[in-house]
Amino acid sequence: MRYSFLALAANALRGHRRWRPAWRSPQPQRGYEVVIVGGGGHALATAYYLAKLHGVTDVAVLERGWIGGGNTGRNTTIVRSNYLHDANAHFYEHSLKLWEGLSRDLNYNVMFSPRGVLNLAHSDGQLETYSRRGNAMRMNGIDAVLLDREQVRAMVPDLDCSPQARYPVHGGLLQPRGGTARHDAVAWGFARAASALGVDIIQQCEVTGIRVEAGRVQGVETTRGYIGASKVAIAVAGHSSRVAAMAGVALPIESHVLQAMVTEPVKPFLDTVVTSGATHLYVSQTNKGEVLLGGDIDGYNSYAQRGNLPIVEDVLRAAVSLFPRLSRLRLMRTWGGIMDMTMDGSPIIGKLPVGGLYLNGGWCYGGFKATPGSGWVFAHTVAHDEPHALNAAFSLERFWSGHLIDEKGAGATPGAH
Amino acid sequence: MLLIPCPHCGPRAQVEFAYGGDATVARPVDPDAVGARQWLDHVYLRENPKGPHLEWWQHVAGCRAWIRVRRDTVTHAVLGAATAAGSIEGGAS
């Protein structure tokens, strides 16, 4: 069923009793052309673009829990493409362009809200580096505006821009086309569209092994039996190491826990996304009015979807120093998700050294904004057995060839993003 | 908050420590005997286990010594700790 004003009105008159489930829940078949491990936004986007753009509809998406129940539902919903290096800039800008037309493409409102993403500069030196990054972005055709302190103050009146602020604001780099999207809707929209094109979405089906013979993938062992597959595509960021290990592939990844939190809801006061690299803070206000806060990873290997209090205190300290009036709000909820932290801070999207096995992972903090772009390039990679030009640089082999995409310039540090 | 039993100072709060990563990663003993591939494996690859994990922590706000800790990455339970050269009770190495 296509969603439209007429469908909404007709169902409203019938008491909303005739809506059908948005996607099918079939039993797994004995084999598929492509099995996608994982049922988050990236996996569902991959399935959708495989079916829509490459004509590959014999596809199963295998999800251990429920779709969108992992990192897709745990992020801070920020969408942006404000990167310095060419490989990142081109890839994330392609993703941002897909975001801009996504609700129409999927016939599902993903509530993409280009409210702008503002990076604060707390010193002249930082403003200089933002100037450099902004110029690099504009050279790559991406929107970037360098703001001085007064422009930042006018845009975010509640920000402490006074000279005596603990972290004085010297200006900022704004990407006006960046913003936020409704993360659950992204998973549900891709699931609905993929299912309509013939993709089988199978929930509560955990992959427990990958069968490899003569260097080529044969299928996957699951909690619901063996499923054969010509190609297996892994999109399980957070657990990429564990699933790749099933096929004997080691990855340059550590899993870490990243926390986020919301305050009680308040009236609208913040109509953009504010980030501060120096204090490492992300702030936005959700459509429900909650102030949504994110910061650093806890800093030690973890597969627990919960973190510890020191980092919560750290995030709140930064938030209150930048927005003093937040001090009177109560925190309503904190949660954590597991991040694949790669050794250069950039994702891995490409072939693995086993025939027919592909990896989409290593997203560090930054997977959500990439969802449509990641699915788009990963579908191309799986369908053609070779990467698209947009993800060729994100190969696993780059760690041995020396072509790292080290956006932070920090070396082998599983803490960059 | 993790409570880390420093073998020198006793149980101390996590905030006194800095994390040093996987303690099972071994630097090649003879640098001339291994090729670039093995060096890069050493720099980048991690087993990244789900469960018990042997890791380095430095007690930066205490004795400043590097210690080894075995900790479960799913439950965050600290299973044991030892000096850099010592052995952890109830486990190999």
On the question of pLDDT at A414 being above 90, the answer is no
Question: What integer pLDDT is reported at residue A155 of this predicted model?
Answer: 97
Q: In chain B, what residues touch A242 (CB-CB under 8 Å)?
A: 48, 50
Question: What integer pLDDT is reported at residue B92 of this predicted model?
Answer: 47
DSSP state of A87: H
Q: Are A179 and A117 in contact (CB under 8 A)?
A: yes
Question: What integer pLDDT is reported at residue A407 of this predicted model?
Answer: 84
Percent of chain A with pLDDT over 70: 99
- Determine whether the interchain pair B73/A255 forms a contact, defined as Cβ–Cβ distance below 8 Å: yes
Question: In terms of CA atoms, which chain B residue is nearest residue A241?
Answer: B48
Both tokens of A296, joined, read 């650093």
Question: What integer pLDDT is reported at residue A317 of this predicted model?
Answer: 96
Query: How far, in Å, CA of A105 to CA of A182, rounded?
Result: 16
Is residue A14 in some structural domain?
Answer: no
Best CA proximity match to A253, nearest among A413, A90, A57, A65? A413
- Determine whether the interchain pair B43/A309 forms a contact, defined as Cβ–Cβ distance below 8 Å: no
Query: How far, in Å, CA of B67 to CA of B55, rounded?
Result: 8
Torsion of CA A241, A243, A248, A252, to 10 degrees: -20
- Determine whether the interchain pair B53/A252 forms a contact, defined as Cβ–Cβ distance below 8 Å: no
Confidence of residue A78 (pLDDT cuts 50, 70, 90): very high
Query: How far, in Å, CA of A126 to CA of A124, rounded?
Result: 5
Q: What range does the domain containing A147 cover?
A: 113-177+255-340
In this structure, are A264 and A249 located in the same domain?
A: no
Confidence of residue A417 (pLDDT cuts 50, 70, 90): low
Is residue A128 in some structural domain?
Answer: yes
Q: Are A43 and A361 in contact (CB under 8 A)?
A: no
User: φ and ψ at B79, to 5 degrees?
Assistant: -95, -15
- Read off the CATH number of the domain in which A391 is found: 3.50.50.60
Terminal CA-to-CA distance of chain B, rounded, Å? 26
pLDDT tens-digit map of B72-91: 999 999 999 999 998 887 55
ipTM: 0.94
Both tokens of B35, joined, read 């090729």
- Determine whether the interchain pair B73/A400 forms a contact, defined as Cβ–Cβ distance below 8 Å: no
Question: In terms of CA atoms, which chain A residue is nearest residue B56?
Answer: A300
Asked if CATH classification 3.30.2270.10 holds for the domain at B3-25+37-83, the reply, yes or no, is yes
In this structure, are A146 and A260 located in the same domain?
A: yes
Q: In chain B, what residues touch A255 (CB-CB under 8 Å)?
A: 48, 50, 73
Best CA proximity match to A330, nearest among A271, A261, A270? A261
End position of a domain, from candidates A340, A367, A393: A340
Both tokens of A205, joined, read 């089906």
pLDDT tens-digit map of B12-62: 999 999 999 999 998 999 989 999 999 999 999 999 999 999 999 999 999
- Determine whether the interchain pair B48/A253 forms a contact, defined as Cβ–Cβ distance below 8 Å: yes
Strands A117-121 and A273-276: parallel
- DSSP, collapsed to helix, strand or coil, labels residue B78 as strand
Q: Are A251 and A341 in contact (CB under 8 A)?
A: no
